[in-house]
Amino acid sequence: MRQHVNPLSRFYQLPLELPGIHELYEKPELPLHLDIGCARGTFLLDLSPLEESWNHLGVEIRQPLVHAANKDRVELKIKNVNFLFCNANISLHSWLVALPQGVLQRVSIQFPDPWFKKRHHKRRILDPSLLASIANTLGVGMQLYIQSDVFEVINSMRQLVDISECFDSSKGLSSPWLEESPMMLPTEREAYALEKGIPIYRLLYIRNENKFPYISAPCEMLPNEIRLINTNVNTL
């Protein structure tokens, strides 16, 4: 199994038409938790029986992991979880636009691939366009949770979220870091980091009432070269 795929390669740039929410769940009206980059799906397979009043959706770019997660879901007969293969940066936008208003209530991006080399930063998952799609779909008061064990990665995500001005830190600006995850269970990477004593940086944001601004800088230019045109253009 490949550890990483290049989300910018031609194959992964092809947009996929994802099944609508009504095709994914028995009760599509339940609040939806979207976990972006869910890998093998263990976290959501364990969480979904504990949160039966929610639907959970994992999206993942490595197709064999999605197949394995969906096989488990069927075998375990869990009705409130599903997994979709896609490049979140390419195919999520139109899926989110088509969601009934108010359904999406929590988004998590946990331990995203760090892509350490500067020339690979543009492969990192949270870019202005994905953040715009999330911000435009999450209702006021709803949650965006991000965590990483790489400070530089969480910091560039944090800067991007902060300059959008669409989210308030659940803990206030001076010390926004959470000591513990607000989720009931750790992800696979989180369990590994906890076992090894690796520091984990966690941020929980609450969607506020601001419109998403037009952010002109590509994410790989963050954190030093952020340029933000704050014109309330809501078109990303």
Ligand X SMILES: C[S@@+](CC[C@H](N)C(=O)[O-])C[C@H]1O[C@@H](n2cnc3c(N)ncnc32)[C@H](O)[C@@H]1O
Residues within the interface to ligand X (CB under 6 A): 7, 37-39, 59-62, 87-89, 110-113, 125, 187-190
What is the number of H-type helices and E-type strands within the chain?
8, 9
169: left (phi over 0), alpha (psi -120 to 50) or beta: beta
At closest approach, how far in Å is the CB of 45 from ligand X?
12
Shorter beta-carbon distance to ligand X: residue 104 or 125: 125
We find the least distance from the C-beta atom of residue 140 to ligand X, in angstroms, to be: 26
Residue closest to ligand X (Cβ):
37
Q: Given the complex with ligand X, which of 125 and 222 has the nearer CB atom?
A: 125
User: How far apart are the C-alpha atoms of 126 and 140, rounded to whole Å?
Assistant: 20
Closest to 36 measured CA to CA, from 160, 104, 126, 98: 126
CB of 218 to ligand X, least distance (A): 15
- Catalytic residue (choose from 113, 127, 162, 168): 113
Asked about 113 being catalytic, the answer comes back as yes
Q: How many residues does the chain have?
A: 236
Measured from the CB atom, the residue of 102 and 116 that comes closer to ligand X is 116
Please tell me the distance from the alpha carbon of residue 38 to that of residue 179, in angstroms, as a whole number: 22
Active-site residues, by number, are 113
